């Protein structure tokens, strides 16, 4: 698979469901969907080697994928709709900065790429790239308020399922594959129902709001233009989320804090690395974390992912030379809430039901603490977000003047923002019946502190994507602790 060479766009077109809806419908997105409207698009690129008997340069290849996509959109018609804003590999370390993601991702502007722009813009875009060798890449990006990683993977697996049928020959096409994939469930009100709002209430429940605001969640204010270091580029998108000036005086804004803009050097060079950790390494991390849990955290059921996150956060803080830093540093972790509400929502539930929690330590503790102390703190924090906590948060968010005002995370030298695609079967996406993808890379802006985890099929290995300020990244890669668990 050779990704070099001049990029040539053959065709750009809108694709719609094979069975168009007879009547247009309007569905309000959920409370949590509204809170993530500012997030970067959710997307990824799948790379495939040339397979025997298949050539991605053959026009029939693209026709098959387009037909399969159109049939898939029958189950996901909202992905072909219009968003609106209304007030109601073999390498273990790879320099991923050298891969120009823009060449493999669609250049189509999505709705809410700027919060003031959405009319006549799609919420989902795809691109097929054919390589001279016959291999190919498929990319997909979605406006985040329509889809989190779970939705994105559900959709692309459904697309791939239909695609495989079209690439079969003769009697093979008559064979129906067994799949446990459920039909898409686009019902945002099912999530909002867990807020348990009382339509008869004339005043908010202050006890529930207090519980929600006691959770370890940031409340950084995008509207705080007075905050030191506030960047001018944020003004336009922030103004788009505000009520008209004549109405602002009628509202009392909820408590918030100023974003720590001075800790984020927006002009710093950032590198993106992809790091592979073997199943054996991650297993040793978990064993080390379990055996070094401090007294106050004994009994926490640390997972392999907790241990890997702890290892990485320690490495990042060492690379940022935070050993003598008394100020707080934060690991901001994205949490899906489908399984955290009661009764739980299915994986086929469409939307972006996410919130972000944080683990805080002094820089010194985060850089020099044991893997058990950090992993235990991660597990203890995430365990706080049970059905009642999520319900309280939804209740509080429903009373916000604007869901996009508060930012639950940050980037720069004091923050790491971690998200996980573990158990999403990312590598198992198979369009042609030829097996696993050769390589998968998530869409990741080059911003200091972004961290993403992905498991590699059934191997037990993990791919880690990390974006870090250039000098800090150099220190991390040369740190002997990076491979401390790789010893026999």
Q: Are 422 and 305 in contact (CB under 8 A)?
A: yes
3-state secondary structure 322-380: CCCCCCEEEEEEEEECCCCCCCCCCCCECCCCEEEEEEEEEHHHHHHCCHHHHHHHHHH
Kindly state whether residue 380 falls inside one of the protein's structural domains: yes
Q: What whole-number distance in Å separates Cα of residue 224 and Cα of residue 382?
A: 29
224 falls within a domain: yes
- Domain termination site, one of 166, 191, 216: 191
Instruction: Read off the tokens for 298.
Output: 């004994």
CA distance 353 to 148: 7
Chosen domain end from 165, 191, 217: 191
Same domain for 225 and 361, yes or no, is yes
Does any domain span residue 151? yes
Question: If we measure between CA atoms, which residue out of 355, 87, 403 comes closest to residue 253?
Answer: 403
CA separation for the pair 465, 444 (Å, rounded): 8
Range of the domain at 179: 31-191
Residues 142 and 80 both lie in one domain: yes
Query: Are 173 and 217 members of one domain?
Result: no
Looking at the structure, tell me whether residues 181 and 257 fall in a common domain.
Answer: no
**One domain, residues 146 and 218:** no
Under 8 Å between Cβ of 432 and 54: yes
> Considering the domain boundaries, does residue 305 fall inside one?
yes
Same domain flag for 239 and 126: no
d(Cα 163, Cα 182) in Å, to the nearest integer? 17
Q: What's the pTM value of the predicted model, to 2 decimals? A: 0.89
Sorted by sequence, the CB contacts under 8 Å of residue 298 that are 6+ apart come out as none
- Phi first, then psi: what are they for 359, rounded to 5°? -110, 130
215 and 168 assigned to the same domain: no
Residue 174: partners with Cβ closer than 8 Å, 6 or more residues away: none
Q: Is residue 199 part of a domain?
A: no
Residue 403: give its domain's CATH number: 3.30.559.10
Query: Are 76 and 164 in the same domain?
Result: yes
Reading the block at residue 397, the tokens are 């968010």
User: In the numeric block, which tokens belong to residue 259?
Assistant: 């974003």
Q: Is residue 140 part of a domain?
A: yes
Enter the DSSP assignment of 444.
-
**Distance from the Cα of residue 298 to its chain's centroid:** 31
Distances in whole angstroms, Cα of residue 188 to Cα of each of 147, 185, 263, 342, 386: 12, 9, 36, 15, 20
Same domain, 103 and 243: no
**3-state secondary structure (DSSP) of residue 127:** strand
User: At 471, is the secondary structure helix, strand, or coil?
Assistant: helix
Residues 279 and 393 in one domain: yes
Task: Please say whether the beta carbons of 378 and 309 come within 8 A.
Answer: yes
Q: Both 375 and 453 in a single domain?
A: yes
Domain boundary among 164, 191, 218: 191
Q: How long, in residues, is the chain?
A: 488
How far apart are alpha carbons 164 and 125 in whole angstroms?
21
Beta carbons within 8 Å of 403's beta carbon, 6+ residues apart: 31, 34, 35, 37, 397
Domain membership of residue 440 (yes or no) is no
pLDDT digit string (tens) for the chain, length 488 residues: 555 555 667 778 888 888 887 777 788 888 888 787 777 788 899 899 888 888 898 888 999 999 999 999 999 888 888 887 654 455 678 788 877 888 889 899 998 887 778 888 999 999 999 988 889 999 999 998 889 999 999 999 999 999 998 987 554 555 545 555 778 999 999 999 999 998 888 899 999 999 999 999 999 999 999 999 999 988 888 888 888 888 888 888 999 999 999 999 999 999 999 999 999 999 999 999 999 999 988 888 999 999 999 999 999 999 999 999 999 999 999 999 999 999 999 999 999 999 999 999 999 999 999 999 999 999 999 999 999 999 999 999 999 998 889 999 999 999 999 999 998 999 999 999 988 898 898 888 899 999 999 999 889 999 999 999 999 999 999 999 999 999 76
Domains identified in the chain, total number:
2
Residue 185 shares a structural domain with residue 315 = no
CA–CA gap between residue 328 and residue 309 (Å, rounded): 18
Residue 119, domain member (yes or no): yes
Give the pairing of strands 328-336 and 270-277. Answer: unpaired
């Amino acid at each position: 698979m050779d990704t070099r060479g001049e990029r040539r766009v053959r065709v750009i077109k809108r694709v719609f469901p094979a069975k168009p809806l007879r009547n247009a419908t309007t569905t309000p997105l959920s409370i949590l969907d509204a809170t993530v409207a500012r997030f970067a698009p959710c997307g990824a690129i799948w790379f495939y080697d040339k397979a025997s008997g298949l050539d991605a340069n053959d026009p029939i290849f693209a026709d098959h994928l387009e037909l399969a996509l159109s049939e898939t959109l029958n189950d996901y018609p909202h992905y072909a709709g219009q968003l609106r804003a209304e007030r109601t590999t073999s390498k273990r370390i790879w320099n991923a900065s050298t891969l120009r993601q823009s060449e493999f991702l669609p250049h189509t502007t999505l709705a809410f790429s700027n919060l003031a722009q959405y009319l006549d813009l799609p919420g989902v875009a795809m691109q097929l790239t054919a390589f001279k060798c016959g291999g190919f890449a498929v990319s997909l990006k979605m406006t985040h308020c329509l889809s989190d990683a779970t939705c994105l993977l559900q959709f692309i697996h459904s697309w791939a399922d239909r695609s495989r049928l079209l690439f079969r020959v003769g009697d093979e096409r008559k064979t129906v594959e067994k799949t446990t994939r459920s039909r898409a469930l686009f019902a945002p009100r099912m999530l909002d129902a867990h807020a348990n709002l009382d339509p008869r209430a004339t005043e908010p429940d202050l006890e529930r709001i207090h519980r929600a605001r006691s959770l370890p969640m940031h409340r950084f204010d995008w509207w705080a233009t007075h905050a030191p270091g506030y960047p001018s580029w944020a003004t336009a998108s922030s103004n788009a989320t505000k009520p008209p000036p004549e109405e602002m005086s009628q509202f009392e804004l909820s408590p918030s804090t100023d974003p720590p803009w001075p800790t984020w050097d927006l002009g710093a060079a950032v590198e993106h690395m992809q790091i592979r950790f073997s199943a054996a390494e991650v297993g040793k991390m978990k064993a080390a974390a379990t055996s070094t849990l401090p007294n106050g955290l004994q009994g926490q059921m640390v997972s392999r992912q907790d241990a890997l996150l702890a290892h990485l956060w320690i490495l990042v803080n060492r690379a940022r030379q935070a050993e003598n830093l008394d100020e707080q540093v934060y690991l901001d972790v994205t949490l899906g809430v489908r399984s955290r509400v009661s009764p739980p929502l299915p994986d086929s539930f469409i939307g972006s039901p996410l919130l972000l929690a944080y683990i805080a330590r002094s820089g010194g503790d985060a850089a020099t603490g044991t893997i058990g102390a950090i992993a235990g703190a991660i597990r203890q924090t995430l365990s706080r977000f049970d059905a009642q906590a999520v319900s309280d948060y939804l209740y509080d968010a429903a009373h916000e003047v604007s869901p996009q005002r508060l930012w639950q995370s940050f980037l720069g030298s004091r923050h790491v923002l971690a998200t996980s695609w573990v158990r999403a079967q990312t590598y198992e996406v198979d369009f042609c019946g030829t097996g696993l993808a050769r390589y998968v890379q998530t869409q990741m802006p080059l911003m200091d502190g972004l961290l993403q985890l992905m498991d590699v099929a059934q191997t037990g290995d993990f791919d880690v994507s990390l974006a870090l300020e250039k000098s800090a990244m150099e220190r991390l890669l040369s740190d002997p602790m990076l491979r401390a668990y790789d010893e026999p």
